[in-house]
Structure 1
Amino acid sequence: LVTSIATSSLLAQSGESLFTNYCAGCHHSVVGVNESGGEQTNVYEAPYAKTVIEKLKTETKTKEAFVAFVKDYIDEPTKRKSLYGKKAIKNFGLMPSLKGAMSDEESTKLAEYMYSDYNKKKIAEKIVPSKTTETLTPSEKANESLFAKHCASCHTTVVGVDESGGKLTNVYDAPYAKDVMSKLKDETKTKEAFIAFLKDYIDTPDKRKSLYGKKAIKDFGLMPSLKGVMTDEESTGLADYLYEKYTD
């Protein structure tokens, strides 16, 4: 009996361990970075844990109701119970049931950890470095706005995650901005040539000028012309900004 109790104690998992084993992979592990809107934000495979917990606390009001909801939902997740709308379920899917994966005691421990301790001792998470708008110069802010308005939606906004080959990679509507800038720097050699090429290309994009092959153009299409959308000064500022922003 003593041996049995000792073994059970050793096998018992803490709330944090249970969270790591059953929740963190989707709700806490960063799978990519979204740079749209001029800010870098982490991308997860499901709604971020901290946001979910805060939303659930608001909905349930008490710890007892919070714990009861979590235990019920992880056993039998349904669209009707979800805190999020159809768009989130369409983007992330409905979470799989964890029924039978934990004992009643363990699911209680997990829910209590989420309620009381999740924000006190956070599990290590990838930190995304970013330059906030407060630290940008007026010129940088203007160029950041141009990038956000004319480039970010295709070149930095994550539209999905590719899991092929056992590796998670972000999916965009066009070649990723950092890769494009790195490739263009290799091709043009100097900042002046970089700026000249970029200004010419966004005005009159052409398959013959493209840095990418037929497959990329077939997959993404040829970018639309931005001729007349910006002044010469603005397009120069944008190109200069991109050269400096994506420094290797």
Structure 2
Amino acid sequence: MKRMLLLLSLTGTILFAGNGAELIKANCASCHMLTSPTPDMIPTLKAPAMDAVMFHIKLDIKKKKDIKDFIVDYTQDPAAAKSVCESNKVQKFGVMPSLKGKVSEQDLVTIAEYMIDNYPAEKFVGMIKEIQRNDKISALINSPFLINQSRLPHMTKVLLQNWDKALLGLSEAQKEKLLVVRKETMSAVMKVKKQVKVLEAEIIEAMVDGEEPKSVYAKVDNVAKLKAEATRAHLNCISDTISILTDEQLEFLFPFWDM
């Protein structure tokens, strides 16, 4: 009888150890949301939802074995340079605590396999793609470029999202140069934006007050000149950035570059 109870106890332990759903609840749910978040939940989460974690992992790594190896390695030895998430998200949430010595490697393998098979949810992927589409539209609408093209990205934003990624591999020298370009570009564009804001407010006020359009033609011309100045600043930013990055880094950031 004792042997039978012992056997049943051991069998239960083995089944539990091999159950990815139970393991992920026991070891990951305290930080990572295991169900799909709604857009309003995302800013309040203390760590990326598991859907988001796997969305980014599968975006960067294609082979199942490589994904499993990455998860096991990262959970034991986490580092910002290894992260597949955008650098700004890593800065927001921080790097996860290591599970080395807390969760066995075999259990981490089981968790990884469960994550690969169950995340991200199709509904979550659809939501993220919709958010990304809206972000792209918003970026185009708010771009200082006079002619907006989706193939002309805001390089500074894309770089910051990938700043610490090991796959991008920015050297410290490159980072220093890129920060100078960013500072100079922002300074030039912000100066122009302030002037444009004042002029546009004056133009609107004149039209509301019923003045003749001709009375603001000169201000309209000045707005156009200032926006052209902002466009030149961004074009210089793009040119300077390209000169700092390698061909491999450009391909990583903008795979559509040669289209």
With normalisation by structure 1, the TM-score equals 0.41
Higher strand share: 1
With normalisation by structure 2, the TM-score equals 0.39
Larger Rg: 2
Higher helix share: 2
